[in-house]
Structure 1
């Protein structure tokens, strides 16, 4: 019996692993050691060239402090991607970027909910210059 080839879903899950690992400032070696594989295997998972089995994905999720469903979350509303980015790959590329990591770490370091809300309001205000409908894009059900 021939092994199944990786799919676009495998690549997406791998990109989510990479993004979360980077947010946590965890190296591929560090993640590999914690789940009992080589760093080369982590590279293959993150690139989507190797599939991640269910047990291994559970172990990765526990190590990265997220539920398994985190790796499958996907906002498929076309307005979100057509207005905010060119697609899922752009979002994943951004989440894995140094800017996104720095922004996430800085935001997480802000303990005051009121200050966090002000920062979100500032970002929305700046985004309105390009996308006046930004509130509908971020929270289509409430506009908030």
Structure 2
């Protein structure tokens, strides 16, 4: 039987969202820790999903970072869908989506583009490139 106190995939999603927001605000882990009365190591553990974030602590973070508490769960539904399909494909192995620094930079830059038609065009270009790459990968297998 699984220990409910162990971090789950959702804890990793919440941790990634904490990291993303902290970087958007240009805060170091140390500075966020100071705002919350934590060590930078504890912030680091939350961001990596190693430690679970309690409801009370998540509320404090949402207040300190100026976002609604639901912000930290954006993407959780996608993760659950992905997790269910991965478990079926991998015979029980669980994979969390990875938000690398490069992905976070891409998202931050994309959000700065105010022109909706340009955003749609860029998104279509990236999606076309991803589709072409995926097709190339499958044909090489």
Residue 42 of structure 1: CA displacement?
0.9
Distance 1:67 1:102, change over 3 A: same
CA RMSD of aligned residues (A): 2.9
**For the Cα contact (< 8 Å) 2:7–2:51, is it kept in 1?**
no
Q: Which runs of 5+ in 2 are unaligned?
A: 87-92, 136-141
Query: Which residue number corresponds to residue 27 of structure 1?
Result: 28
Deviating beyond 4 angstroms after TM superposition, the runs of 4 or more aligned structure 1 residues are none
Residue 78 of structure 1: CA displacement?
4.2
Residue 33 of structure 1: CA displacement?
1.8
Q: Which runs of 5+ in 1 are unaligned?
A: 133-144
Q: What is the 5 A alignment of 1:47-126?
A: 47-72=48-73, 73-75=76-78, 76-78=80-82, 88-89=95-96, 91=97, 93=98, 95=99, 97-126=100-129
Residue 110 of structure 1: CA displacement?
1.1
Aligned pair count reads 121
Residue 129 of structure 1: CA displacement?
0.8
Mapped partners of 1:15, 1:6: distance in 2: 17
Mapped partners of 2:58, 2:26: distance in 1: 19
More helix by share: 2
User: For 1:19, what is the secondary structure of its paired residue?
Assistant: helix
Query: Which residue number corresponds to residue 46 of structure 2?
Result: 45
Distance 1:42 1:116, change over 3 A: same
